[in-house]
Amino acid sequence: MEKRIEAHIFVSFLAFCLHTALRNLARERAAGLTSEAILEKMSNIQMIDVHLPTTDGRHIVMSRYTQPEKDVSLLLAQLGLTLPEQPPPKVYASGQVGL
């Protein structure tokens, strides 16, 4: 039970750090935006895993980020942020799951 309490405190601390960092970034570069508004806009960006079976029993897993809409792209540019590169595909032998 104590480990769960520590984990909750840690996650809360990380959320506070993200909120504070976004608030300070918005003050410097996008006055008038709140950290909540920034997170709401960024929530449209999703990550999906595409699983493709191969003919020899293996499967390819491609993790992909959705392309941001124009308003999100403008917000990213205004904040001076960039999205990471798309990760390379991973190939797994039959029976393995790459999650």
Q: Which residues pair with 92 in a beta bridge?
A: 59
Determine if the pTM surpasses 0.75: no
Question: Whole domain around residue 2: which residue ranges?
Answer: 1-43
Q: pLDDT tens, 43-90?
A: 989 989 988 888 888 889 998 888 999 999 999 999 998 988 888 888
Q: Do 58 and 32 sit in the same domain of this protein?
A: no
- Residue-level pLDDT at 27: 92
Q: Do 39 and 53 sit in the same domain of this protein?
A: no
Asked whether 78 and 41 are in contact (CB, 8 A), the reply is no
Residue 96: pLDDT band with limits 50, 70, 90: low
Rounded Cα distance, 21 and 56, in Å: 48
Q: Do 35 and 55 sit in the same domain of this protein?
A: no
Taking each helix axis as running N to C, give the angle between helix 2-29 and helix 35-42, from 0 to 180 degrees, rounded to the nearest 10. Answer: 100
Q: Do 77 and 56 sit in the same domain of this protein?
A: yes
Q: pLDDT tens, 8-38?
A: 999 999 999 999 999 999 999 988 899 999 9
Q: Do 96 and 71 sit in the same domain of this protein?
A: yes
How many domains would you assign to the chain? 2
Q: Do 69 and 86 sit in the same domain of this protein?
A: yes
**10 burial level (CB within 10 Å; 0-12, 13-18, 19+):** exposed
Q: Do 70 and 28 sit in the same domain of this protein?
A: no
- Residue-level pLDDT at 22: 93
Residue 98: pLDDT band with limits 50, 70, 90: low
Asked whether 60 and 91 are in contact (CB, 8 A), the reply is yes
